Chain A
Amino acid sequence: MLNFFIPILAFLFQEQSWLMRAADAAKRPDLSKFLVIGALLFIIGVAGVLTRRNIIVIFMSIELILNAANLNFIAFSRYLQDNGSANAVAGQLFAVFVIVVAAAEAAIGLGIVIALYRNKETIWVDEIDLLKW
């Protein structure tokens, strides 16, 4: 049994194996790690928008998507700062505007939810089908 696993472990933990290189890269997270985290958050948000039925949870998923975009803006801003770009805080400026638009969108969206609930008595999106013919 042991004889079977030792070569596999030796293969995985040898100097140039993909596992050791990945562990080495994980010690120094760079721009690409931020982008992957942002992409994962974005995809989780998309999955929420596509699969949930509760309209409030759909709004929360949209907030997740906007937040993932913000993470990318900030990561690129830092990347440009480190590489001596002239206007490196442009990404941070854009993130401020994304937050402003997200706040406005949440206020209007939740106002619509309340008006809809008053008229239709439901927050499940598959029961709100006024435009479906």
Chain B
Amino acid sequence: MVLSGYEALFFWIFALAAIFAALLTVMARNAVHSALFLISSLVSVAALFVLSGAEFIAGVQILVYVGGVMVLFLFVIMLVNVGAEEMGREEIFNKQKQVTASLIFCLLLVGGVLYAVSQGYPALQAAQTNKRTPEKMAADQAERDRSLAVGATGTSRITADTELVGGSLYRYASLPFEIASVLLLVAIIGSVMLARTLKQEVSADDVDPETLQEELALDPELAKLEPRVE
């Protein structure tokens, strides 16, 4: 795969945006700022997905991550973050030793990955069966784009990516797809169970009897909530 022309320009813009936003996510003092920087990082990565021809995944990324998961994060920050900003001012990172250790570990990882990519990628190119120049690959890509249907405005083409992904999803991965739906159901029920308050647990008659006695001693009002068997 080779990007050229404006695609290359946009690749570098969005790649740098993704990395800087990710750095700011980790370094921001306020958790809300972290969440907003993470959103911009995710959107930049979605743009990289579009550049590599995965329009469907880019759309899913925006809808699920930015529209769903990050809104959930912001809600939880709102529920939980009492006075966190003031506490965060003294030190946002852990002890000095741990920061040093993690930075050394990260630098080792960077070095290892860069070495592996620089060593492995030429070998991958050498092992390719059909050798094509970057110009030929770009021309092939343009050829494939021309074969797509023209959109209603006549200026753009309709991608076949969604169709391809949908077809393959049901053809090759229908069992994992069903398992994923069960996983999501479990996640929904689990998060509702985890986030219940004590009152809700008592009214659902879901508290250990000994614990219930202790809690009743603290708060007699709870007895009214307890469901009675008539």
What residues make up the interface of A, taking CB atoms closer than 8 Å to B?
26-37, 39-48, 50-54, 56-57, 59-61, 63-64, 67, 70-71, 74-75, 77-79, 81-84, 87, 89-90, 92-93, 95-97, 99-108, 110-115, 117-118, 123-124, 126
Q: How many A-B residue pairs have CB under 8 A?
A: 252
B102 touches A47 (CB 8 A): yes
B68 touches A103 (CB 8 A): yes
B23 at interface by CB-CB < 8 Å: yes
Least CB distance, B163 to chain A, in whole angstroms? 10
B92 at interface by CB-CB < 8 Å: yes
Least CB distance, A12 to chain B, in whole angstroms? 20
Q: B148: which A residues are within 8 A, CB to CB? A: none
A111 touches B194 (CB 8 A): yes
Q: B151: which A residues are within 8 A, CB to CB? A: none
A78 touches B52 (CB 8 A): yes
B158 at interface by CB-CB < 8 Å: no
A43 touches B110 (CB 8 A): yes
Task: Give Cα A56 to B77, complex, Å.
Answer: 7
Q: B192: which A residues are within 8 A, CB to CB? A: 111
Task: Give Cα A79 to B169, complex, Å.
Answer: 19
Q: B72: which A residues are within 8 A, CB to CB? A: 106-107, 110
* Interface-lining segment among B55-63, B202-210, B220-228: B55-63
B4 at interface by CB-CB < 8 Å: yes
Asked if A40 meets B56 with Cβ closer than 8 Å, knowing A56-B76, A106-B73, the reply is: no
Least CB distance, B190 to chain A, in whole angstroms? 5
Q: B141: which A residues are within 8 A, CB to CB? A: 82
A contact face: mostly helix, strand, loop, or mixed: helix
Q: B73: which A residues are within 8 A, CB to CB? A: 56, 59-60, 106, 110
Question: Looking at chain B, what size class is its interface with the partner chain?
Answer: 35 or more
Asked if A51 meets B165 with Cβ closer than 8 Å, knowing A28-B2, A36-B113, A64-B38, the reply is: no
- What are the nearest 5 A-B pairs in CB distance? A111-B194, A111-B191, A104-B187, A50-B102, A48-B26
Q: A105: which B residues are within 8 A, CB to CB? A: 187
Asked if A99 meets B25 with Cβ closer than 8 Å, knowing A71-B48, A78-B52, A93-B168, the reply is: no
Task: Give Cα A27 to B172, complex, Å.
Answer: 37
B149 at interface by CB-CB < 8 Å: no
Q: A123: which B residues are within 8 A, CB to CB? A: 80-81, 84
Partner pick for A40 among B8, B19, B65, B102, CB 8 A cutoff: B19
Contact digits for B40-51, partner A, Cβ 8 Å, 1 yes 0 no: 011001001100
Least CB distance, A22 to chain B, in whole angstroms? 12
Of residues B18, B64, B92, which shows the largest number of chain A Cβ atoms within 10 Å of its Cβ? Answer: B18
